[in-house]
Each structure stands twice: as C-alpha cells, then as structure tokens.
C-alpha cells in the first residue's frame, strides 16, 4: 500500500538580512616597507617593473602601468581604490591619491603586502540569520515494521 507524499508548510517569520561588516584598517602602515623585504626591494629599485608584476597578480593588463597611458601613479591610485573598496578597508579617495602621488613606493609595498596577506587567509562568510519555523500539516507516521526475511520494494527507508 502506497502512502501519499508528506507535505509540509514553511512559514518564514522574518526575512534574511545581510549586515555589512565594519571597515577594517590596512594590515600594515604605509611606512612599514621593511616588514617584507621581498616586496620592499623591487618596489624601491624597479617600481614600474614591480607594479607591472603587481598588476599581473591582480589580473590586470600590465601596459596600463607605463607612463605612455595613465602613468604609474594614477594606475596605483586606481588599484588601491579598487582593492580598498573590494576588501572593505578604511580610507578615502584622497588618502589613496596622496599615497600614490607622494609615497609611490611605500603605497605599492602596502598594497602588495595586503594582497599577499589576504591570499593566505580563509575568508569568513557574512552571517545570514533567517528565522524559519516549519509547521507540518501532515502528522508524522510511524516507520514500517516488517518481519525478518520480508523485503519491501518500492519504498524509501
């Protein structure tokens, strides 16, 4: 004998909400260039070449970093602004502009340090806390009991 499929009604009493996390500070300061000499040395002595490598790491086209187009400072400004907004880092467009124009190598180091540190962190999901109450309109049925040696076919157990 086949039983009718169980039906249930889902009642959502509160819609799910997403709360944006607070903006966080940069992982290291603008002047912390020597915290990672593997980033500091190339950014200091061959900054345009290093910026090209940074752009490749960000999946951007390297030719934009050269002075013939926007110039390295404006390209770094765009990279910092995009990265800061994408990763919810504190700051402003004016701060990004001043860092790119007056502290070019330090800003390049800071950006790459932050990118490098984020590669090795596991992102935490944004918590979504819906309140869901399930009310069943069909009473629960007792499981089927069979005799030893009797096999039922066509039923999910």
Give the pLDDT confidence of 71-105 residue by residue, as tens digits. 778 888 888 998 899 889 999 999 999 999 999 88
d(CA 122, CA 125): 9
The pLDDT, as a whole number, for residue 47 is 82
Q: What is the pLDDT, as a whole number, of residue 130?
A: 47
Summarised one tens digit per residue, pLDDT across range 43-82 is 888 888 888 888 888 777 776 555 555 677 888 888 899 8
**Half-sphere CA count of 150, side-chain side, radius 13 A:** 6
Between CA 97 and CA 3 the distance in angstroms is 70
pTM: 0.60
Question: pLDDT at residue 42 above 80?
Answer: yes
pLDDT of residue 21: 72
Token reading at 55: 């752009």
Reduce the DSSP state of residue 88 to 3 states and report it. Answer: coil
User: Which residue in 1, 5, 6 sits closest to 138, CA to CA?
Assistant: 6
- Beta-bridged to residue 77, according to DSSP, are none
Which pLDDT value is given to residue 75? 83
Percent of the chain with pLDDT over 90: 12
Helices within the chain (DSSP H only): 37-45, 47-57, 72-86, 93-102, 104-119
> What pLDDT is stored for residue 43 in this prediction?
85
Helix (H, G, I), strand (E, B) or coil at 87: coil
**Cα 46 to the chain's mean position, in Å?**
30
**For all residues of the chain together, what is the average pLDDT?**
75
What integer is the mean pLDDT of 129-144? 53
């Amino acid at each position: 004998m086949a039983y009718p499929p169980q039906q249930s009604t889902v009642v959502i009493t509160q819609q799910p909400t997403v709360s944006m996390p607070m903006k966080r500070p940069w992982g290291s300061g603008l002047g912390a260039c020597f915290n990672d000499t593997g980033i500091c040395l190339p950014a200091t002595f061959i900054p345009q070449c290093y910026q090209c490598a940074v752009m490749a790491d960000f999946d951007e086209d390297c030719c934009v970093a050269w002075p013939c187009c926007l110039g390295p400072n404006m390209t770094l400004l765009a990279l910092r602004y995009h990265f800061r907004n994408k990763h919810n880092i504190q700051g402003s467009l004016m701060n990004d502009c001043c860092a790119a124009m007056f502290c070019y190598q330090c800003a390049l180091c800071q950006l790459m340090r932050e990118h490098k540190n984020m590669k090795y962190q596991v992102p935490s999901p944004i918590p979504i806390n819906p309140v869901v109450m399930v009310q069943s309109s069909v009473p629960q049925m007792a499981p089927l009991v069979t005799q030893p040696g009797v096999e039922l076919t066509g039923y999910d157990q």
